[in-house]
């Protein structure tokens, strides 16, 4: 009997590809066949980063790619430009791909699962009369914020371009994080032109998401009750973690350096500061050096993920590696879920991307928050203000977080047993939801039934 065939299409960014890949691996375990559609540019990166022995689930996940509309040398971190190119080129290419799959005997596409930010893919599914689900890889609060844009315009908080009309603090619902208007997601990305393009993409997604039969989200009801209350159409199926399935995660843009796990084995329990800033964060020279010196002077072992694009452009302080010796380990990319579940980890100094936030919570690890852009300020507010499992840093008048501030917060976080206690409580909430009989698990099973029906 042939397996129902799903086409999964993430938005082309690291924080979107990994969770949709996690969902795809879950679907394969439930008897589906998945065609996973990256852009040509990201497909190469993902394939090059897979370990040699990795088989995409007995080849039930078929990795394919279509062009994103940019030339090979153009910068994919220019999100405005990327979004415009995608809209021009990808809908037609996706349609061609699905037609090709459907022509192969007995293998018709049963459902398209598209990143909510890829609303155009839901339009393709509608046109081709295929079942469609929108997948949201970030917090429910962020999607609820997107749904509230018309209300924010109506209330005079933002104008039709998404620009904040004055600096103020808003709260969409009880038990939701407060947000400064200057930290609204689309206003934390790139220059003004980019911000306006991203805002238009969100407005467009607000329309296209209505085409979806299901809107599923990589979150947990009891972590964000206010947001799910505000937008009940969003259904939580998280946390989607490979560790829940005793599996390896896939979809990395850089090959993870697993040698750091052996180094962690040699450290004392709850002693290591794990430092990682995701795929986008960049540092200026002064800030990079302040962080480096703070880690050196913390008198604790640390594991620091320094991407190749950062280490090539911002040098370490003079003689740093020699002085740090075996006390600190710098790697280009880490197998993060395995790192965070390691008993030697004491805390997570993080950019607060949603995947990192969920992975930290699911392992009971407290946070030091260093948000960079997009939704990371919202996630920081959850971590520090709502869940109380982490601390924020204060910048000096030059906009730098000085080494003294970093050392002070490390000491404060690790000197207070309640941060770890609350983090372990959140871990229990998250894991219970994903287990048999938990809220996320029940919704996931209903979702499976619907796709198979």
pLDDT at 241: 84
Q: Could you report the per-residue pLDDT of 363-380, keeping only the tens digit for each? A: 999 999 999 999 999 999
- Residue 406 banded pLDDT, cuts 50, 70, 90: very high
Q: Token digits for 253? A: 């843009």
Phi/psi for 218 (5° steps) reads -80, 70
Q: Could you report the per-residue pLDDT of 306-362, keeping only the tens digit for each? A: 999 898 889 999 999 999 999 999 999 999 999 999 999 999 999 999 999 999 999
H/E stretch holding 115: strand 109-115
pLDDT at 434 over 70: yes
pLDDT at 57: 52
pLDDT at 55: 54
**All domains in the chain, ordered by first residue:** 5-247 (3.40.50.2000), 259-430 (3.40.50.2000)
Q: Token digits for 341? A: 């579940």
pLDDT at 136 over 60: yes
Q: What angle do CA 119, 123, 129 make, to 5 degrees?
A: 140
Task: Give the global pTM.
Answer: 0.96
Q: Could you report the per-residue pLDDT of 235-248, keeping only the tens digit for each? A: 999 999 866 666 67
pLDDT at 181 over 80: yes
- Going 326 to 332 to 336 to 338, the CA torsion angle's sign is negative
Give all strands (DSSP E) within 343-438, no chain letters. Answer: 345-350, 367-369, 390-392
pLDDT at 105 over 80: no
The helix-helix angle for 140-147 and 192-208 (nearest 10°) equals 90
pLDDT at 154 over 80: yes
Q: How many CA atoms lie within 13 A of 112 on its CB side?
A: 31
Question: Residue 91 and residue 87: Cα distance in Å, rounded?
Answer: 7
Mean pLDDT (whole number) for 437-451:
97
Average pLDDT, the chain: 94
Mean pLDDT (whole number) for 179-193:
93
Contact (Cβ atoms closer than 8 angstroms) between residue 170 and residue 158: no
pLDDT at 2: 81
Mean pLDDT (whole number) for 416-434:
97
Q: Which of 10-19, 49-58, 150-159, 424-433 has the lowest mean pLDDT?
A: 49-58
Mean pLDDT (whole number) for 80-102:
96
Question: Residue 131 and residue 211: Cα distance in Å, rounded?
Answer: 10
pLDDT at 53: 58
Q: Token digits for 291? A: 């962080």
Q: Looking up tokens 């995660």, which residue turns up?
A: 249
- Residue 86 banded pLDDT, cuts 50, 70, 90: very high
pLDDT at 52: 66
pLDDT at 245: 65
Q: Token digits for 128? A: 């081709």
Contact (Cβ atoms closer than 8 angstroms) between residue 373 and residue 279: no
Question: Residue 415 and residue 120: Cα distance in Å, rounded?
Answer: 49
- Neighbour count for residue 427 (Cβ, 10 Å): 18
Contact (Cβ atoms closer than 8 angstroms) between residue 297 and residue 403: yes
pLDDT at 423 over 70: yes
């Amino acid at each position: 009997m042939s397996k129902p065939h799903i086409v999964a299409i993430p938005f082309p960014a690291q924080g979107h590809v990994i969770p949709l890949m996690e969902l795809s691996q879950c679907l394969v375990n439930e008897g589906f066949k998945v065609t996973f559609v990256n852009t040509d540019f990201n497909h190469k990166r993902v394939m090059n980063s897979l370990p040699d022995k990795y088989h995409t689930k007995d080849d039930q996940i078929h990795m394919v790619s279509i062009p994103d509309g940019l030339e090979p040398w153009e910068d994919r971190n220019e999100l405005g430009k990327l979004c415009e190119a995608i809209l021009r080129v990808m809908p037609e290419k996706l349609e061609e791909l699905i037609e090709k799959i459907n022509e192969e005997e007995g293998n018709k596409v049963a459902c398209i699962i598209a990143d909510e930010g890829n609303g155009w893919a839901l339009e393709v599914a509608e046109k081709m009369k295929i079942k469609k689900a929108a997948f949201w890889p970030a917090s429910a609060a962020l999607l609820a914020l997107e749904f509230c844009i018309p209300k924010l315009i109506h209330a005079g908080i933002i104008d039709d371009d998404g620009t904040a009309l004055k600096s103020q603090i808003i709260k969409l619902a009880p038990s939701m994080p407060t947000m400064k208007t200057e930290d609204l997601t689309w206003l934390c990305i790139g220059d003004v032109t980019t911000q306006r393009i991203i805002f238009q993409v969100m407005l467009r997604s607000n329309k296209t998401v209505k085409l979806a039969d299901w809107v599923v989200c990589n979150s947990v009801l009891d972590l964000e009750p206010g947001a799910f209350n505000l937008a009940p159409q969003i259904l939580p199926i998280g946390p989607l973690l490979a560790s829940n399935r005793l599996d390896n995660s896939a979809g990395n843009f850089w090959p993870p350096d697993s040698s750091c796990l052996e180094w962690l084995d040699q450290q004392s329990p709850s002693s290591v500061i794990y430092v990682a800033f995701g795929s986008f964060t960049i540092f200026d020279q002064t800030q990079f050096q302040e962080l480096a010196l703070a880690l050196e002077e913390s008198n604790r072992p640390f594991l620091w993920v320094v991407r190749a694009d950062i280490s090539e452009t911002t040098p370490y302080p003079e003689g740093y590696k020699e002085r740090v010796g075996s006390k600190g380990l710098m790697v280009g990319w880490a197998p993060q879920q395995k790192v965070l579940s390691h008993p030697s980890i004491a805390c997570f100094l993080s950019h607060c991307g949603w995947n990192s936030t969920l992975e930290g919570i699911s392992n009971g690890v407290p946070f030091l928050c260093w948000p960079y852009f997009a939704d990371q300020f919202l996630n920081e507010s959850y971590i520090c203000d709502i869940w109380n499992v982490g601390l924020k840093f204060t910048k000096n008048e030059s906009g730098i977080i000085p080494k003294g501030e970093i050392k002070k917060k490390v000491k404060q976080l690790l000197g207070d047993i309640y941060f770890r206690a609350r983090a372990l409580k959140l871990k229990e909430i998250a894991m219970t939801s994903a287990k048999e009989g938990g809220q996320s698990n029940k919704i996931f099973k209903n979702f499976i039934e619907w796709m198979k029906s």
